Structure 1
Amino acid sequence: MARLPLYRQVREKLLARIAQMRVGEMIPTEPELEQEFGVSRATVRRAVETLVSDGYLEKRQGRGTQVRARSETQDVGRVYSWTDEMRQRGVPTSSSHVVLRREKAGRRIASELGIKRDDSVVVISRVRHVSDAPIAIMVNFLDERAVPGLVERGLQGDSLYDELAATYGLELVSGEETIRAREATAVEAALLDIEEGASVLNVRRRTLDSHDVPVEVVDMVARGDRYQYHAQLTGGRNRLAQPAPRRQGSSRGD
């Protein structure tokens, strides 16, 4: 069997080392790797570049190259709880910058929830973390009539959906959502620990209960380098001839 090219040999050795390192930990510099492996700078650089392109490493300007966290993938087409989804994967989650307040719905939220502009909504804004890394800024808007006392009591845990079910008997079963890519604002960049102008996914969703009553609107901004969507598609001539249905949202609003 032919031997692997030198850059591939270096790549495999680095990959084994990365598996034992923490997210954000810096790998040795190119000169250090050159000396360690006894290969040329070009060979080291090529090995590192393949690991960057494959998503194992990321380069940080002025700092070097560090171990990159894996992207969190969410399925499009089903309603689910962010907290439960990550819990099933064995990934710890937490929240920071938690703000819970009451405000008037306004034109857009009123339209989405089917209420009046002057009606009160409960607004919950949080930065969601996975393994201590900030992944998304999440803002939930809830019709206050469906969640009386929530502002005064506050959230009792990290999962909003668990609380909605346990305290108010609300089961969110369907939704509609729109996903678009854009650049992070300065405030978003600071909260998500990314560069201003970096790519983010902006997800807007309306979630309905088991009686098809709109209960929640979620606006989420997620890091483009750490968050991705997965959709299972079907096709066929007969299907393509049908009008496209509205996309059912994948609910990650708790």
Structure 2
Amino acid sequence: MYLRIADALRQRYTPGGQLPSTPKLAEEWGVARETIRAAIDVLRTDELVTSSPGRGVFYAADRAPADPANDIGQVVARLDEVLNRLDSIENRLSLLESEPRKASD
């Protein structure tokens, strides 16, 4: 969900413009504030926003919105990351399942 929100916020890109507050965005999207923070972290990683403590989050004044062709590459990279994490989790689960169980289990 946070990736969808990040993409929607990219579409609202206004150089130097301020994003709505985290609580306001959470209410607008019907999600937890942490989900909004994750979406903003994606934009921060892409260097599309900057934060000013006590003032808010602002779109970078000197950056153009992300190129849609690059968005596809970013989505593929994120999907690869998710798949790698799932593989890691599956490996951990397999190890746990193969451990001998205690008599109390």
TM bucket, shorter chain: 0.5 to 0.7
Partner of 1:49 in structure 2?
Answer: 41
| 1:69 shift after superposition | 2.5
The answer (yes or no) to whether the contact 1:56–1:70 under 8 Å persists in 2 is no
CA distance in 1, matches of 2:46, 2:61: 12
Q: Secondary structure at the match of 1:62?
A: coil
7, 10, 23: which one aligns with 1:12: 7
Partner of 2:102 in structure 1?
Answer: none
Which structure is larger by alpha-carbon Rg, 1 or 2? 1
Q: Secondary structure at the match of 1:13?
A: helix
Q: Which runs of 5+ in 1 are unaligned?
A: 1-5, 72-254
CA distance in 2, matches of 1:24, 1:32: 19
Partner of 1:159 in structure 2?
Answer: none
The answer (yes or no) to whether the contact 2:3–2:42 under 8 Å persists in 1 is no
Give the ranges of 4+ consecutive aligned residues of structure 1 lying more than 4 Å apart after TM superposition: none
Residue 60 (1) aligns with residue 55 (2): no
Q: Secondary structure at the match of 2:17?
A: coil
CA distance in 2, matches of 1:25, 1:11: 15
CA distance in 1, matches of 2:41, 2:22: 11
Percent of aligned pairs sharing the same letter: 32
Q: Secondary structure at the match of 2:12?
A: helix
Partner of 2:20 in structure 1?
Answer: 28
| 1:38 shift after superposition | 0.8
Equivalenced residues, count? 63
CA distance in 1, matches of 2:41, 2:18: 15
Partner of 1:39 in structure 2?
Answer: 31
The answer (yes or no) to whether the contact 1:57–1:67 under 8 Å persists in 2 is yes
CA distance in 2, matches of 1:43, 1:61: 19
CA distance in 1, matches of 2:12, 2:31: 18
Q: Secondary structure at the match of 1:55?
A: coil
| 1:24 shift after superposition | 2.0
Structure with higher helix content: 2
| 1:70 shift after superposition | 3.2
The answer (yes or no) to whether the contact 1:55–1:70 under 8 Å persists in 2 is no
Q: RMSD over aligned Cα, in angstroms?
A: 1.2
- TM-score, with length taken from structure 2: 0.56
CA distance in 1, matches of 2:49, 2:18: 9
| 1:25 shift after superposition | 1.5
| 1:49 shift after superposition | 0.9
| 1:56 shift after superposition | 0.5
Q: Which runs of 5+ in 2 are unaligned?
A: 64-105
- TM-score, with length taken from structure 1: 0.24
- Partner AA of 1:39 in structure 2: V
